[in-house]
Amino acid sequence: MTKLTINKAVEMALPDPFLGRHLIDGEWIEGAETFTRISPSHDTVVSVSAKGDETTTEAAITAARRAFDRGDWSRISAKERSAVLLKVADLIEANVERIAVQETLESGKPISQSRGEVSGAADLWRYAASLARTSHGDSHNSLGADMLGVVVKDPIGVVSIITPWNFPFWILSQKLPFALAAGCTVVVKPSEVTPSSTVMLGELLIAAGLPSGVCNIVLGHGQPVGSLMSTHKDVDMVTFTGSTAVGKMITEASAGTLKKVALELGGKNPQVIMPDADLENAADAVTFGVYFNVGQCCNSSSRIIVHEDIAEDFVARVVALSRLVKFGDPMDPDTQVGAIVTADHQRKIDSYVQQAVAAGAKLELGGGALPVEGLGSQFYQPTVVSNVTPDMAIAREEVFGPVLSVLTFRTLEEAIALTNDSEYGLSAGIWCNDIHTCLEYARRAEAGTVWTNTWMDGYPELAFGGVKESGQGREIGRYGYDEFLEVKSLVMRVGRDSRAPWVEASA
Ligand code: NAD
């Protein structure tokens, strides 16, 4: 164990590197090859994982198919399935600290945030358990005296779950319990950058009594693992969260077998600030929206659209608040914003900023690496860029860093046009004291979620997802659960009268 000095008050022992194995048909499988993850903040190996290949992936898919067809999960009562999910929720709560520490070491996110995400995920498992018990189809008894129509919902089958690195445990919990609640069996591939919390969850699933083969985990890269999970004939559905580029690849790859694909992709999410808004509240929400998870967040409000009359004052408020946000060591319990996930990604963030400045944008704050005492250079300063025009890459593309772009408008029409002038459509928001303006904006913004006078609140009851290049299908809520179900109509003749013959019997 290595000793870490977190800050003057906190010293902790770093856990030994986590050894990640595949979970296939209830067995933990070591890999012939492995890959390592170096912590982005502490520059030390924090996990060594089995590296999946085509054989491992094939075995996992076969196990999921066999388990689905066996029926000891897909055909048992919803009561029995929900009992297991509720046990998993309890086990997650009992293991928050261990999972959160590993999540922070691999992703670079602050420990307080990891604790919140892991313990909060338990609620997603409980909510999915409640859906399993309350889901139902339709019946039609008005089709004629001797006819009964029943619409039932069946689990869709074997589901491939592919997740990204920015919210490894949380995003998995937006998918897995809902798929399991529906009666599906699954193969999961976490990001190669943050594999361990998925393996830890696998351990909890076994402890909760999930039958073997119902949840299989393969560690490794998009090629070949994710790719085979998207093309294999025995997979009925792929649910993916990640970049739009990979989402498109998965859609193409899955076309050969016409499997269902649900995609949660990127976003370039605006917040519109009207002159009559509560500016103090709005400035705080904008600050939160851009720096949360170092901006490595699909819902990051990386662009704001501010009314010209208040733009100068509003930007000054956001800059002042930005200076107060606690960037630093992710293991420090007081840290609000941690490290950038990889050095390559940090270079990409910086290039967006430098390009915008070269094209005439104004740096109001930040714009370079942030030195953090005792740690490497994978931290980026809180950055605010004004004079941004809608054609600049910084205004259109996902920067995925702690960088805010400021655009301005004069009329509501202009604000709506700027909002919708994007390939993305994940989320949008408006700050305004007039309910009519809020409602008009909310109805016309092309986005899967619109927040009015708040930002990034989410609830398991509400659906989440995007329009345009932000994705297709929905996650969480009843709509998210229904994605894992196939609808089947049963048409039954139940009366004593015989069916009218089609062929006339000859005399
Ligand atoms: P990514 O697309 O690079 O990788 C996501 C996952 O796909 C990883 O597990 C990766 O190994 C796998 N993968 C890569 N190539 C593949 C292929 N050819 N076939 C199958 N799988 C493949 O994304 P990332 O860098 O891990 O995450 C960041 C992206 O995720 C951002 O664009 C962000 O906006 C998006 N995201 C979206 C949401 C949402 O809900 N809309 C949430 C979080 C993150």
Q: Residue whose CA is closest, atom 22 of ligand 1?
A: 222
Residue showing tokens 């708040």: 454
Phi, psi of 462 (to 5 degrees): -100, 145
Question: Annotated catalytic residue: which of 192, 264, 469, 483?
Answer: 264
**What value does the mean pLDDT take over residues 152-163?**
98
| Whether pLDDT at 234 is above 70 | yes
Most confident by average pLDDT, 180-184, 373-377, 503-507: 180-184
| Whether pLDDT at 249 is above 70 | yes
Find all residues with CB under 8 Å of 69, minimum gap 6, and list them. Answer: none
Q: Residue whose CA is closest, atom 35 of ligand 1?
A: 242
In this predicted model, what pLDDT tens digit does every residue of 84-102 receive, in sequence order?
A: 999 999 999 999 999 999 9
For 221-376, list the strands marked E by DSSP: 237-241, 260-264, 270-273, 303-307, 362-365
Question: Annotated catalytic residue: which of 184, 298, 432, 438?
Answer: 298
Q: Which of 243, 349, 399 to mutate to test the pocket of ligand 1 (most atoms within 8 A of CB)?
A: 243
Task: Give me the residues paired with residue 41 across strands.
Answer: none
Tokens of 492: 């039954």
Q: Quote the ligand 1 centre to 243 CA distance (angstroms).
A: 4
H-state helical runs in 71-95: 78-94
CA–CA separation, 416 vs 420, rounded Å? 6
Mean pLDDT estimate for the chain: 96
Ligand 1 atom showing the smallest separation from residue 253 Cα: 19
By three-state DSSP, how is residue 53 classified?
Answer: coil
Q: Residue whose CA is closest, atom 39 of ligand 1?
A: 264
| Whether pLDDT at 10 is above 70 | no
* pLDDT of res. 1: 56
Q: Quote the ligand 1 centre to 347 CA distance (angstroms).
A: 19
CA–CA separation, 196 vs 209, rounded Å? 21
CA–CA separation, 213 vs 69, rounded Å? 11
Known catalytic residue at 264: yes
Q: Quote the ligand 1 centre to 60 CA distance (angstroms).
A: 21
Q: Which of 107, 159, 298 to mutate to test the pocket of ligand 1 (most atoms within 8 A of CB)?
A: 298
Ligand 1 atom showing the smallest separation from residue 246 Cα: 2
Tokens of 294: 């170092």
Calculate helix-pair angle for 168-182, 96-107, nearest 10 degrees.
130
In this predicted model, what pLDDT tens digit does every residue of 266-314 receive, in sequence order?
A: 999 999 999 999 999 999 999 999 999 999 999 999 999 999 999 999 9
Pocket of ligand 1 (CB under 6 A): 162-167, 171, 189, 191-192, 221-223, 226-227, 230, 241-243, 246, 249-250, 264-267, 298, 398, 426, 466, 471
Q: Which of 217, 167, 154, 165 is nearest to 189 (CA)?
A: 217
Instruction: Calculate the CA 35 to chain-centre distance.
Output: 24
Q: Residue whose CA is closest, atom 16 of ligand 1?
A: 222
Ligand 1 atom showing the smallest separation from residue 298 Cα: 34
Find all residues with CB under 8 Å of 11, minimum gap 6, and list them. Answer: 3, 4, 5
Contact indicator for 427, 269 with CB cutoff of 8 Å: yes
* pTM for this model (two decimals): 0.97
* CA count, 13 A, side-chain hemisphere, 279: 15
Q: Residue whose CA is closest, atom 15 of ligand 1?
A: 222
Q: Residue whose CA is closest, atom 31 of ligand 1?
A: 243
Known catalytic residue at 58: no
* pLDDT band at 264; cut points 50, 70, 90: very high
In this predicted model, what pLDDT tens digit does every residue of 490-506 receive, in sequence order?
A: 999 997 777 888 998 87
* pLDDT of res. 13: 77
Q: Residue whose CA is closest, atom 9 of ligand 1?
A: 191
CA–CA separation, 160 vs 230, rounded Å? 7
* pLDDT of res. 312: 98
Q: Which of 246, 345, 400, 468 to mutate to test the pocket of ligand 1 (most atoms within 8 A of CB)?
A: 246
| Whether pLDDT at 8 is above 70 | no
Ligand 1 atom showing the smallest separation from residue 227 Cα: 19
